[in-house]
Amino acid sequence: KQEVTQIPAALSVPEGENLVLNCSFTDSAIYNLQWFRQDPGKGLTSLLLIQSSQREQTSGRLNASLDKSSGRSTLYIAASQPGDSATYLCAVNNNDMRFGAGTRLTVKP
Amino acid sequence: EPEVTQTPSHQVTQMGQEVILRCVPISNHLYFYWYRQILGQKVEFLVSFYNNEISEKSEIFDDQFSVERPDGSNFTLKIRSTKLEDSAMYFCASSKQTRDTQYFGPGTRLTVL
């Protein structure tokens, strides 16, 4: 059974810092991996999708990498802003989508 | 920009009652999903739906649950006899193809008393 783990569970950084969120998964037979953002009490906003054949994807200040063989993905956020404060979820897709518990990010002004 | 919409935003029901949660997926999407998130826990996959059939379902999606696409725009999740442990946020999602980006709705908070 696929298990998805995210480290750290919470992270607090000053504005302007670059940061890395980590996601690991136990079964490398995945179709893709998706990173989401969730604001308190809200739905999930898709940030990036990486197909299993890809190594990384970029969108603005966000860069996600995927190392399928080692079961790891990272989400890099450059020049963090207070508006980036949210919970970041990774999810791996192999017929059904399995989510990690998320990293709660706080960016202090 | 097209969005997935869900109604109602909050539903309160008594244990044992039936509830229907409604979703309008993005119009040109072909794959539809339901997930739930119990407060403080991970988002959990319930079911995927394509071409008027269930494609995949999790162990959570037992006989108490059913899904339907009653017309060309709506996608519904029915819980026949709600239990206290069904209290959760229920998210609908849709994608163009099975391995494409999934777009989530804002969720319906279900409270079972």
Determine the residue of chain B that is closest to A35 in CA distance: B101
- % of chain B residues with pLDDT over 90: 91
Give per-residue burial for A5-36: e unless 16+ CB within 10 Å, then b: ebeeeebebeeeeebebebbbeeeebebbbbb
Paired tokens of B6? 């869900």
* Residue to substitute from A38, A97, A98, interface B, most B β-carbons within 10 A: A97
Q: Test A96 with B105 for CB contact under 8 angstroms.
A: no
Preferred mutation among B42, B47, B57, B110 to probe A, highest tally of A CBs within 10 A:
B42
Q: Maximum Cα–Cα distance for chain B, whole Å?
A: 39
Structure token pair of residue B32: 């539809």
pLDDT in tens, B46-60: 999 999 999 999 999
Question: Which tens digit of pLDDT belongs to each residue from A7-51?
Answer: 999 999 999 999 999 999 999 999 999 999 999 888 899 999 999
Are A34 and B33 an interchain contact pair (Cβ–Cβ within 8 Å)? no
User: For residue A79, which of A10, A13, A26 has the smallest C-alpha distance?
Assistant: A13
Give A 2-21 residues with CB within 8 A of chain B.
none
The pLDDT mean for chain A works out to 95
